[in-house]
A and B are shown apart, each in its own frame.
Chain A
Amino acid sequence: MTLLEVKGLRTYFKTQEGTLKAVDGVDFEVEKGHAMGLAGESGCGKTTAALSIMKLLPANGYIAGGKINFMGQDMARVTGEKLRSIRWRDISIVFQGAMNALNPVKRVGDQISEPILLHEDVDDEVATKRVKELFELVGLSPNRIRDYPHEFSGGMRQRVMIAMALACKPKLVIADEPTTALDVMIQAQILQLMKSLQKELELAMIIISHDLSVLAETCETLCIMYAGKIVERADSVEVFRNPQHPYTKGLIEAFPNIKGDKTMPASIAGNPPNLIIAPKGCRFAERCYMAKEICDEKEPPLIEVRPNHYAACHFVKAG
């Protein structure tokens, strides 16, 4: 069952230099109980795309077009009370940088019970009981709900953030770079927790990361974004086994493989294009080793290479 369907989403920012097209025509779907990964370099629009779903854009950002169909409602148009009732109750988010996302002067328990008290008609006691359950769920001691954020380590704060996202039993959780600032061992702990929670609670998830290997370990499907567009979309095994877009290939090769030979991974030279004056043709052409004339002139469409495997490149053939 499709829980979320994003079609032709365009999110722009007004800046002094002009309109910045951070997300420029993005399609994807998230199934119930499935995890989808959004991958790409910093500045490619992956966080903006996710924030658009929850309508948490900064003041100068706006949804310029497209549809965000969440359980029969177009999130792109929902406003006011209606939006407020969906936010956090149906869709919640684990913000980037657990170190700074918590309020330092409020006890963590109070921060978690806040959305519960707001969204549900319950009293303090019930909310506190729920917070304790949530703490146990994410592997924290329930005795610590009256502690302040600084009393927790980085990994534990990330667990608090996850508990907070789960407070109102949402159907969709967006996790924005959930492990980026963490050590490898803590990263493994958090990924294991997210995977088990997803199974246990039948959560749908959108996980955002620049680290493809993290997504490979947690997601069923993957979208690779580049400069505001999706360049490849397929289930994660397929993406790694059979990458079609040169950018995807580059990202996969950029990984040091600890199980393979001791060779230096390749890198993708150059920088992403300026999104205020986006190039006319393929946005990756400037950095692409395959680029030909056509790439500078015409934008490649996202075509189905195999069943359920899409790629946007002039040199892939529909099969």
Chain B
Amino acid sequence: MGNDIVSVKNLQVWFPIRRGFVESLLSDEQSYVKAVDGITFSIKQREIFCLVGESGCGKTTTGKAILRLVEPTGGDVAYFGPGKDELLKEVTDASNRKKTSARVYVADQEKWAEFVETYDMADIKKAKRVMGENAFAGILKRAKTKPDGNDLNMAGVKNDADRKALQPFVGKMIVDTRKAKATIGEQKLTEILERAGIKPQADDLNIASIKNADKKTLRPFVKKEFVDIGRAKDAMGEKALAGILKRAKTKPDGNDLNMAGVKNDADRKALKPFVRRVKSNWVLMSKIPKDRKEELLKAGGINVRTLSKHNMKAMRQKLQIIFQDPYESLNPKQSIYDIIAEPLVVNSIGANEAEREQKVTKALMDAGLRPPKNFMWRYPHEVSGGQRQRVGVAGALVLDPDFLVADEPVSMLDVSIRSEILKLMLDLRENRGLSFLFITHDLGVAYVFSDRIGIMYLGKIVELGPTEKVIKDPHHPYTKALISVVPTPDPKDRTEKIILKGERPDASKIPSGCRFHPRCPFMMDICRVEQPSPVFVSEGHWVSCHLHTKGSSAEKMGD
């Protein structure tokens, strides 16, 4: 397996809830169904990544948002796959013509650190609390913008006394090695590094672990430092920290508003106390020195989210989707040939009908409908369910894509033909080098079919990891429950089921703290209040659950 083909970062899809006239008079605030609320994952080339969850957890919305069949509200979707270079060139050329600078998506923030754009983000929660919901909503309205870790950026802490108090908890202190080199000389820096036994990352160096006088030498070159909030809280008490935070007018957890959208001067001023600077994955072409332009174009990806309509059409040839229900996703009044040839017509591919027919024939062959002549001129109702799903696959294949979103492709099919379709997709990966985002609610299918699994609950990924690890060693209570309810064919081989009470909550009224807490059998006090952040379990295996937050206040409260 190679590099990433698709990288999804902090993706959000919110659907506004329609309000009546009276409601709009009563409150300025628009509420949303947060179908997908900040999920991050990447899919490698030739990988099958599986999203599992109940209906309504946002898995289909995620799949569609990657293809922009629904427009994402926030976050980035980057494509690094084949054919990216040409498209990227087209995008940059187009912006050159318009005399604007093109933006290129980079996955490695650190490497391009000096070039990535930064945004000012205002803390919405805090701002609302301090200035009142209505005043804040007013700003949002005027700004015509929409709201888009556990570290506190010290840059926000201006008060000297506060800085001193927080100093012991600084966990990450990044030194600009080039600056340091220029001032103290390369040799001295190398000596210091050898003593400390650390290596700089690109041009940055974390000196938090250096304890002796060397730290003093390097201190002037520190460009950013972060405070470990957890440790600070433990050591100085929550109240003292809160005081500092209050004076610093910044807050650790993110629910951010991009300040670029706020144009009103008075509003900017009002929001200023809540602003923090956030690094993006964007690089502006105009800022890059000439000699590194080639490198950037090679390493950078296309951000699917910001492509123009014209470029998106080209992009969709690379990204395709197989829809859920083969009984409803095929037009009953079109022959199979017409259904499969439609994308060719739309994209003006193939000079004449004969050429198109050739492409359709190949797609049908690849989808296992052989001989193609027997199927091409039939209508969807004339073929069986499994064959219909193959028609859906052929339709997705005809444009020769590199990435497929497969949305519950086997859920509507009989058990006896399910594995045929799954095997077909495995063959396509072998022969065409396809990568898949596979969406299903059936963990059994996900287990035998995928390389990695992400378990979704109410718009968030709660557990993510290699398939074997997630299934054989699940950490999140929701994953455990899902695995336990998969029916087993052998009546003697039964384990006790964890049947969760009730159904998933309404996505427009997301529970506070951990979203799963109202149904969780292991609910603790902290789960009601604080959202868990991802915790490392083993290589590539992450879980978001307070039960596994080591050394945190959660563990103590759980005891």
Contacts and interface: CB of A to CB of B under 8 A. Distances in A.
Interface string B17-43: 000000000000000000000000000
B467 A262 contact: yes
Interface string B499-530: 11001000000000000000000000000000
A269 B447 CA distance: 22
Contacts of B296: none
Given A41-B414, A188-B499, A217-B488, 15 more contacts: A155-B503, A185-B499, A186-B503, A188-B487, A192-B497, A210-B416, A237-B491, A237-B492, A240-B489, A254-B416, A255-B415, A255-B444, A257-B444, A262-B448, A268-B416
B448 A265 contact: yes
Interface in A144-158: 153-156
A228 B416 CA distance: 17
A198 B497 CA distance: 19
B238 interface: no
Nearest to B386: A271
A189 B500 CA distance: 8
A212 interface: yes
B441 A250 contact: no
A79 to B, nearest CB: 35
B385 interface: yes
Q: Which 6 A-B pairs have the closest CB atoms?
A: A213-B487, A188-B485, A256-B444, A267-B419, A256-B448, A267-B420
Contacts, number: 123
A216 B485 contact: no
Contact of B489 (A187, A210, A212): A212
A315 B140 CA distance: 76
B491 A212 contact: no
Interface of B: 54-55, 384-386, 414-420, 422-423, 426, 441-445, 447-449, 467-468, 471, 481-483, 485-495, 497, 499-500, 503
Contacts of B417: 41, 267-268
A264 B499 contact: no
A216 B491 contact: yes
A185 B444 contact: no
Interface of A: 41-42, 153-156, 183-189, 191-192, 210-214, 216-217, 236-237, 240-241, 250-252, 254-259, 262-269, 271
B415 A254 contact: yes
A192 B494 CA distance: 14
Contacts of B443: 184, 258
Given A185-B54, A213-B488, A265 B419 contact: yes
B489 A269 contact: no
Contacts of B490: 216, 240-241
A251 B384 CA distance: 18
Contacts of A264: 419, 422-423, 426, 448-449
Nearest to B422: A264
A265 B384 CA distance: 21
A258 B419 contact: no
A189 B423 contact: no
Nearest to B501: A189
A241 B486 CA distance: 19
A232 to B, nearest CB: 15
Contacts of A217: 487-488, 491, 494
25 contacts: A41-B416, A42-B414, A184-B443, A184-B485, A185-B485, A188-B499, A210-B414, A212-B415, A216-B487, A217-B488, A217-B491, A237-B491, A240-B490, A254-B419, A255-B444, A256-B448, A257-B444, A264-B422, A264-B426, A264-B449, A265-B418, A265-B419, A267-B416, A267-B417, A268-B417
B491 A192 contact: no
Contacts of A153: 503
A42 to B, nearest CB: 6
Given A185-B54, A251-B415, A264-B448, A258 B420 contact: no
